[in-house]
Each structure stands twice: as structure tokens, then as C-alpha cells.
Amino acid sequence: MSLRLLFVDDDPDIRTIVELALGLDPTIELRVAASAGEALNALAATHPDAALLDVSMPDMDGPALLAALHDRSPGLPVIFMTAHGRERDVAALRAIGARGVIVKPFDPLSLSAQILALLSG
């Protein structure tokens, strides 16, 4: 069984790192979007099992995108990626419905395991 994961980040370097890292895991089917608008369009086409979102994006921030995704796909598990890993920042993201938070910089070799652990926990 594979996990259909929608990944959204406006930084092309982060997108490349995540694509390479998750491309090593045959159980993850990755769809990548560079903006919130692309993500919303991809949602209907791909029906992801979960989403991995950057918190800070120019067209719509991560929390607003989470709300938009949940309007269209209630219950979709969402994990955030952020450079702001302070406890209160993580708690605030969990309070709005995030399944978990991955702090940048992250270890690409353990990214798949982190995502799967957050989704199963």
C-alpha cells in the first residue's frame, strides 16, 4: 500500500531535497506543488492521503492552506515543515489541526520515517 502525499513548498531547493529524499521510499507517491494555489488544484486531481506543508509561503501561509484543504477534504492529515521549531510555535500548529511538525533543517535520510511516524501516531 502506498501513501499519496501532497508536498507544498515555495522554495525550489527544499522541493528538490524532499523529492530526492522521498523518492527513495517506494511506499510514498509524491505530488509536489510550489504554491498554495497549485496545491488546491492538485488536491482534486490526486486525492492525497496526507499533506506536508511549508508554514511560510507568499501566496497563502500554511495555516490558511490547512484550513482551505480541510474545507475541501475534511480530516486530511497535515504535517507542517518550518524553520521555527520553538515549542510554542509547534503547539500553535498542533492546535489548528496539524498532525505534526518537522523542523528545518531536517535529515533527508530520515524524512520518510518521520512522516510515516507522525501519520501513524
In this structure, what C-alpha cell is assigned to residue 31? 505530488
Q: Are strands 78-82 and 100-103 parallel, antiparallel or unpaired?
A: parallel
Are the C-beta atoms of residues 3 and 25 closer than 8 Å to each other?
A: no
What's this model's pTM, rounded to 2 decimal places?
Answer: 0.95
Give per-residue pLDDT as tens, 57-80. Answer: 999 999 999 999 999 999 999 999
What local confidence, expressed as pLDDT, does residue 114 receive?
A: 97
The CATH number of 3-120, from 3.10.150.10, 3.40.50.300, 3.40.50.2000, 3.40.50.2300, is 3.40.50.2300
Whether the pLDDT of residue 85 is over 90: the answer is no
